[in-house]
Structure 1
Amino acid sequence: MSVRLIVRTFSELCITVGALIILFVVYVLFWTGVKAAGATEGQIDALQKQWAQGAVVTPAPAPAPAPSASPETPDPKAPDHKALRDGKPFAMLYIPRFGKSWERPVLENTEVKTLQKGLGHYRGTAGPGETGNFAVAGHRRTYGDPFKDFPKLRPGDAVLVTDGTTWFTYRIDKKPYRTVPSDVGVIDPVPRKSGFDGPGRYLTLTTCEPEWGSSHRLIAWAHLDATQPVTDGRPAALRS
């Protein structure tokens, strides 16, 4: 085989590999976003139709804790629960820090195919506004980059959730916390390392860290600050 043939073959191989890399980058940066936008809009439409028909569904409650010397007093205002179907939307979540138009549907479970359509609710955690920990996961990058700006969250930032009948306004308590995927205590009813010292109505947001990797997780914790019926209009945090 001549040197010229070797050089030509190597050049063609490099061009082919380069083209495949470019196609992969286009898929990751562009096409997954296009797919996510369509899927997210579809979930929002389905949720709005459901609410227009008067059907409001909330997550099934977490299993009752083991008895203790001073058990937590049941929440008298907790709504009646209806089990959700996996991968179906039940709430909308808004984070003004990420932009005035930022909104995402919250779907039941955190499976890969679910997170391609919006945010995912950790099974067994509390529902919006309930006593316990309403825990939600989202992609940092790809599929619409929902949590791309996660590190920008700051104490006092509003995170708003609606289930179709009520607005729940949570407030971030501290800057995002970095941990490892095995640290499941971050979504406990009283999340470990959050600084919360007893039962309350909490929100936990989780995403991947670093931005284009998944070796770690970023966690943001918030507490319920206010509620109002949707008939009163949008909360002030969404109007400013």
Structure 2
Amino acid sequence: MLITAGVLVLLFVAWQLWWTDVVADRQQQQIVEALSEDFLNGSDGTVGSDAFPDLGQDRAFAIIRVPRFGKDYARPVIEGTARPVLALGVGHYDGTVAPGEVGNFSVAGHRITYGRPFHTIDTLRAGDRVIIETKPTVFVYEITGHEIVRPWQTEVIAPVPDEPGKAPTAALLTMTSCHPKYSATYRYVTHGTLVDSVPRADWRYADWSTVKG
């Protein structure tokens, strides 16, 4: 019985740490491709449960690209941060602003399992770019710094990070993920600020894809 239990535990760990990545990578790539097609063909620029039932009532509305994570890195940004959403991409915190708006556009992503979109979030450096593609506009943020907090310290996604109640004057970005890897004891939080917005018709990824030193 102990041997059987041990085998079952190992199988569960393999499923959690490996197979969820395989499935999630495939699904997230499909959503990115569907969004890209919408952006090009004049559709509404979102992907919902009609095409991907697992999205439920949430919708994918943007694509996030991070040159530091690799030239082919692209993940969907989906409204909400519930568990099913984070299994399919990067989640946009309810109540935070849309990309490019004054305030704090805040997102969350897994660091392990389910495609682990923020697996190497701790490698981001000041000056690195984070690109958010939407149907009409592509927004470019530059990383300004990071902090490590407890899960309940939600002031990091306030309109002005860590200063709840203060009125924002700039368009900001916050990315959050669990820390350290294989643990949810803390949150690794990376902040950035908007440096450019480019109409989709004029967008060239190569102009912004250089990784900082």
TM-score in terms of structure 1 length: 0.77
Question: Based on CA coordinates, which of the two structures has the bigger radius of gyration?
Answer: 1
Q: 4+ runs of 1 displaced by more than 6 Å?
A: none
Query: Percent identity between the aligned chains?
Result: 38
Q: Hey, what does 2:186 align to over in structure 1?
A: 216
Gaps of 5+ in 2: 47-55
Q: Aligned partners of 1:115, 1:102: CA distance in 2, in Å? A: 17
What is the TM-score with the length of structure 2 in the denominator? 0.86
Matched, 1:90 2:61: yes
Aligned-residue offset at 1:92: 0.5
1:121 maps to 2:109:
no
Equivalent position of 2:208 in the other structure = 237
Residues 47 and 24 of structure 1, relative CA distance in 2, 3 Å threshold: same
How many pairs are equivalent? 200
Equivalent residue of 1:177, what SS? strand
Say yes or no: does 1:25 pair with 2:25: no
Aligned to 1:141: 112
Task: Assess if the C-alpha contact under 8 Å between 1:86 and 1:107 holds in 2.
Answer: no
Q: Tell me: CA distance 1:164–1:150, structure 2 relative to 1, closer, same or farther (3 Å).
A: same
Asked whether the 8 Å contact 1:108–1:121 carries over to 2, the reply is yes
Cα deviation digits, residues 31-87 of structure 1 (max 9, x gap): 1011201221232133233323423458xxxxxxxxxxxxxxxxxxxxxxxxxx842
**Match of residue 130 from structure 1:** 101
The 3-state SS of whatever aligns with 2:140 is strand
Q: Distance in 1 between matches of 2:44 and 2:192?
A: 24
Query: Would the aligned equivalents of 2:144 and 2:191 in 1 still touch at CA under 8 Å?
Result: yes
> What is the SS of the residue equivalent to 1:228?
strand
Looking at structure 2, the residues matched to 106 and 213 of structure 1 have their Cα atoms a distance apart, in angstroms, of 23
State whether residues 110 and 177 of structure 2, in contact with CA within 8 Å, keep that contact through their aligned partners in structure 1: yes
Q: Within 2, Cα distance between the matches of 1:239 and 1:200? A: 24
Unaligned runs of 5+ in 1: 1-12, 59-84
Query: In structure 2, what residue type is equivalent to 1:89?
Result: A
1:147-205 CA distance string (max 9 Å, x none): 1101111110100011022111100001x210011111111111116xx9952100000
Which amino acid counterpart does residue 150 of structure 1 have in structure 2? I
Contact 1:33 1:144 survives alignment (8 Å): yes
Counterpart secondary structure, 2:94: coil
User: Could you tell me how far apart the structure 2 residues matched to 1:49 and 1:57 are?
Assistant: 9
- Asked if structure 1 preserves the Cα contact closer than 8 Å seen for 2:126 and 2:144, the reply is yes
The correspondence of residues 66-77 of structure 1 with structure 2, limited to 5 A, is none
Instruction: List aligned pairs for 1:143-222, cutoff 5 A.
Output: 143-174=114-145, 176-192=146-162, 198-222=168-192
- The answer as to whether partners of 2:102 and 2:168 remain within 8 angstroms in 1 is no
Which residue type is aligned with residue 50 of structure 1?
D
Q: Residue 218 of structure 1 aligns to which amino acid in structure 2?
A: Y
Which secondary structure does the structure 2 equivalent of 1:219 belong to?
strand
| CA root-mean-square deviation | 2.1
Specify the code of the residue in structure 1 equivalent to 2:169.
P
> How far does residue 217 in structure 1 lie from its aligned partner after superposition?
0.5
Following superposition, the deviation at residue 24 of structure 1 comes to: 1.3
- C-alpha change, 1:57 and 1:184, in structure 2 (3 Å) is farther
CA distance in 2, matches of 1:192, 1:147: 21
The residue number in structure 2 matching 1:4 is: none
CA shift for structure 1 position 21: 2.2
